[in-house]
Chains A and B, each alone.
Chain A
Amino acid sequence: QITLKESGPTVVKLTQTLTLTCTFSGFSLSTSGVGVGWIRQPPGKALEWLAIIYWDDDKRYSPSVESRLTITKDSSKDQVVLTMTNMDPVDTATYYCAYTRAAAPVRPFDPWGQGTLVTVSS
């Protein structure tokens, strides 16, 4: 059974850097085709894809926030870390991580973690 769980601060201040960790089980990020993505959702708004990291360390970012994001993995700890710089109140959102596959077979995000709400204070 694949499970993922997000962790990190619940409140960050304006201009600070946010660091979120996704701890997963039930799969290995060393397995060919596997990836972990980050998605966020501001209160009452739509889902927004942020970043993905794949088994081969290939990384993809959303163009809208690419300059502020870094995604890394620690396969030995079964963790993926997302950092977002220069936080602003508009970045207040629930942040989710999710399992995905880029090959054999290709799959969308499923399952997802429970999400973690991050509030940016000014």
Chain B
Amino acid sequence: EIVLTQSPGTLSLSPGERATLSCRASQRVNFSYLAWYQQKPGQAPRLLIYGASNRATGIPDRFSGSGSGTDFTLTINRLEPEDFAMYYCQQYGSSRTFGQGTKVEIK
């Protein structure tokens, strides 16, 4: 089973700043089948990125994903107030697993 490790656990930033979130896999993720989700309290997760770098429908272009193999990054440029939330990575190339999440909080 592929284990995903997200870092940092918490990111304290101000609106307008850039957020850089990391997701490291214990094994190579097949075909870069790596997704990123945003989750706000009381809500279901929302797909942001799939295939490591493809934005899902309706996702603003300040969200971008990159990486391959075992190292992946989600970047949020110019944080908006609505971007402060939990973020999870998930691989779907070999069964399915989620990372433990990164909380982006207001500094």
Instruction: Assess the A110–B47 pair: CB atoms within 8 A.
Output: yes
CB of B58, distance to nearest CB on chain A (Å): 11
Q: Of the candidates A60, A108, A111, A113, which one forms a contact with B50 in the assembled complex, judged by CB atoms under 8 Å apart?
A: A108
CB of B75, distance to nearest CB on chain A (Å): 19
Is the C-beta of B1 less than 8 angstroms from some C-beta in chain A?
A: yes
Is the C-beta of A63 less than 8 angstroms from some C-beta in chain B?
A: yes
Instruction: Assess the A108–B35 pair: CB atoms within 8 A.
Output: yes
* Range class of the A interface residue count: 20 to 34
Specify which chain A residues have a CB less than 8 angstroms from the CB of B92 in the assembled complex.
100, 106-109
Instruction: Assess the A108–B47 pair: CB atoms within 8 A.
Output: yes
Which residues of B come within 8 Å of A, CB atoms?
1, 31, 33, 35, 37, 39, 44-45, 47, 50, 56, 88, 90, 92, 95-101
List the 8 closest pairs (A to B, CB-CB), nearest first.
A108-B35, A110-B47, A112-B44, A49-B96, A47-B98, A46-B100, A108-B92, A46-B101
